Amino acid sequence: MARTRATVIKGRERPLWREWAAALDRPLTSYYLILGTAVLLIALGLVMVLSSTMVKSISETGSSFSLFQKQLGAAVIGLPLMILASHMPQQVFRLVGYPAMIVSAALLLLTVFQGVEINGATRWLDIGGLVVQPSEPAKLAFVLWGAGILARKDELSELTEWRHLLFPLLPGCGLLVLLVLLGSNLSTALVFLVTFLGLLWVVGAPGKLFVAMFGLVLGLALIAIAIEPYRMARVTTLFDPMADPQGAGMQSLHGRYALGTGGIFGVGIGASREKWGFLPFAESDFVFAIIGEEFGLIGTLLLLALFGVLGYAGLRVAFRVKEPFPRLAAFAIVTWIMGQTMINVGAVIGLLPVTGVPLPLVSYGGSSLITTMVALGVLLSLAKTEPQAQRALAARGPGWAQRALSWLGLENIANPVTGRGGTPSSGRAATARGPRTPGPRGGGTTAKYDSGPVPAGSRSRRNRRR
């Protein structure tokens, strides 16, 4: 008999919701949720880039596949990088945080003086004929660097004072924001600031400090908007796009036209009218509007559901891992991707001013796609550090990445827990950090007792009876 709403186990019916709960409790559920949603979003992004760029590609190059081929090439580059990152131990990410931050700051500084200007913004850098956007990999660099800084301070119990929470995290974020703003890229600066606030939140910053930093971020955003006339025009046309239908309000108006034309089920894939030169940047900033036009309300809700599952899986990792660095890095990656998604979607549907931030994994742009895929690879690797996942992977034996690092003589990196090659759960931790102390949001961060006698009052009832 086909199973519809319940299954029979030992003569009793098991409700369907219990089956879902059991499936979510499996050791590698977070890993497969992240992997599945990432693959679906990348595939959908390639389809939408092909659909939204065909007209523009023909007018610019004579081929309807020229822009799609670039995006496909970026996906081909990003896929092995994502797989490689998913097999790396967390110690590798901690080691590359500082070098990645230094290189990112240098590239952003070089972009300020020798960047490629497109549509009045200097956000791109020409490296050997390859045009890249350094602010995209800088997001991942800031995540790894910031998580590493706070994790080390947490391990040393230095997060009880506000100065340890802010330094050097705040100056590092401020440097990246300043360099990005010099290239007229306020939307990316906001993503950095949102990620900074996310790190402060998960590490357990006091409420007064968090509110102060939130006010600082809001004040900086208002100042950046006020000093640029075109940004102020976008804000004023947010509530009345018809006030300037051929200027500042044009993109917002045609984005809403696309969403309204799609209705419930859409006009069909490839049948968008707005992509025929009416909606500016339809393949990047406003690809969500094209999705709404071609797939309708149902398509946009399914897309948002995929991002919701991705965010849930990332937060699941952040709350289940025991060590500070995986928790901080996972939460920061989720904050970055979900925050950028909300900014992009909010601008398209008219809740926020029009910005130049792309929709992660879906919008056209090789730098954004590759960086986000690598970030998801990092998240996949962190998902393996969940306690249940570690035990399940330990039963399988060391993976190829751990064997390769051990073969190169990097046993400490291959297994930072035991200091030897093999699986993370094959031995005890090398050090004990004493009694558990109150940890930041998302769980405690210090081990309770690793070795030595059990203090009085900590024995179980059975031992006390004996």
Q: List phi, psi (to 5°) of 130.
A: -105, 120
In sequence order, which residues have a C-beta less than 8 Å from that of residue 342 and are 6 or more positions away? none
H/E element, 193: helix 186-202
The pLDDT value given to residue 411: 57
Higher pLDDT, 286 or 15: 286
Which residue, 115, 160, 150, 106, is CA-closest to 133?
A: 115
Cβ–Cβ < 8 Å for 172, 101: yes
Of 148-152, 245-249, 285-289, 439-443, which range is least confident?
Answer: 439-443
Which stretch, 94-103, 153-162, 217-226, has highest mean pLDDT?
A: 94-103
Number of alpha carbons in the 13 Å side-chain half-sphere of residue 10? 0
In order, the DSSP letters of 23-52 are HHTSTTHHHHHHHHHHHHHHHHHHHHHHHH
- Tens of pLDDT, residues 27-85: 899 999 999 999 999 999 999 999 999 999 999 899 999 999 999 999 999 999 999 99
Report the chain's mean pLDDT, rounded to a whole number. 85
Q: How far apart are the first and last CA of the chain?
A: 52
Percentage of the chain with pLDDT > 90? Answer: 62
The pLDDT value given to residue 158: 85
The pLDDT value given to residue 457: 41
Between CA 378 and CA 373 the distance in angstroms is: 9
pTM of the model: 0.85
| Sheet with 116-118: strands ordered across | 116-118, 121-127, 130-132
Can you tell me the mean pLDDT for 300-308? 98
If pLDDT is split at 50, 70 and 90, which confidence band does 447 have?
A: very low
pLDDT of residue 112 exceeding 80, the answer is: yes
The pLDDT value given to residue 458: 41
Question: Omega into 168 within 30° of 0, i.e. cis?
Answer: yes
- What value, to the nearest 5°, has the Cα angle with vertex 143 and ends 140 and 147? 150
Can you tell me the mean pLDDT for 248-275? 94
The pLDDT value given to residue 456: 41
Can you tell me the mean pLDDT for 324-344? 97
The pLDDT value given to residue 355: 86
Between CA 290 and CA 296 the distance in angstroms is: 9
Higher pLDDT, 455 or 352: 352
pLDDT of residue 409 exceeding 70, the answer is: no
pLDDT of residue 336 exceeding 90, the answer is: yes
Can you tell me the mean pLDDT for 315-328? 96
pLDDT of residue 404 exceeding 80, the answer is: no
- Tens of pLDDT, residues 54-67: 999 999 899 999 99
The pLDDT value given to residue 450: 39
Residue type, 264: I
Between CA 211 and CA 453 the distance in angstroms is: 43
- Tens of pLDDT, residues 183-204: 888 999 999 999 999 999 999 8
- Strand duo 116-118 + 12-15: pairing: unpaired
Strands (E), 128-248: 130-132
Which residue, 118, 84, 110, 64, is CA-closest to 281?
A: 118
Cβ–Cβ < 8 Å for 401, 415: no
If pLDDT is split at 50, 70 and 90, which confidence band does 401 have?
A: low
pLDDT of residue 464 exceeding 80, the answer is: no
